[in-house]
Amino acid sequence: DRLWFKTNTKLGKLYYDRGDFNKLAKILKQLHQSCQTDDGEDDLKKGTQLLEIYALEIQMYTAQKNNKKLKTLYEQSLHIKSAIPHPLIMGVIRECGGKMHLREGEFEKAHTDFFEAFKNYDESGSPRRTTCLKYLVLANMLMKSGINPFDSQEAKPYKNDPG
């Protein structure tokens, strides 16, 4: 069961990277069904797997610019408390949430999400942290904040990073 889940998640990521959203949607449906109870509700005992599925689905909706489904899924993902997700998964969810908030003009929410994404990517060692830091600076400028985003303990090491 676990091997099947991991294999199909990797296949889903491959479809996402290739931009094959039809095949990705089919895989996501199968993965999601494997994490549901008999009455069709999300099985919260499988919170970590659910977040992996949500992260992949959120990436797909972000790429497709489907803000309505993205927003619903993003909200659902933040309500799963039973999971201990990998920081990379939460980084993906928060980065996509930040982009969604930017598009909606909600700069403070975007700022919060990009900062959370940055911290998660930093913790997981992902190079996406630099991209999120750039988005964080953008959101900071758009909300006309007088606070320097590089004053935070997490961002200080990147203050003079040319990346």
Is 126 in a helix, a strand, or coil? coil
Q: What is the DSSP letter of 66?
A: -
Residue 110 lies in a domain: yes
Q: CA nearest 147: which of 120, 92, 107, 119? A: 107
Residue 133 lies in a domain: yes
The per-residue pLDDT for range 12-65, each reduced to its tens digit, is 999 999 999 999 999 999 999 999 998 988 888 899 999 999 999 999 999 999
* pTM for this prediction: 0.85
Place of tokens 């993902």: 77
> How far is 149 from 112, CA to CA, in rounded Å?
11
Residue 3 lies in a domain: yes
Residue 7 makes CB contacts below 8 A (sequence gap 6+) with none
State whether 45 and 9 are in the same domain. yes
For residue 136, what are the domain limits?
86-163
State whether 103 and 31 are in the same domain. no
The per-residue pLDDT for range 55-100, each reduced to its tens digit, is 999 999 999 999 999 999 999 999 888 778 899 999 999 999 999 9
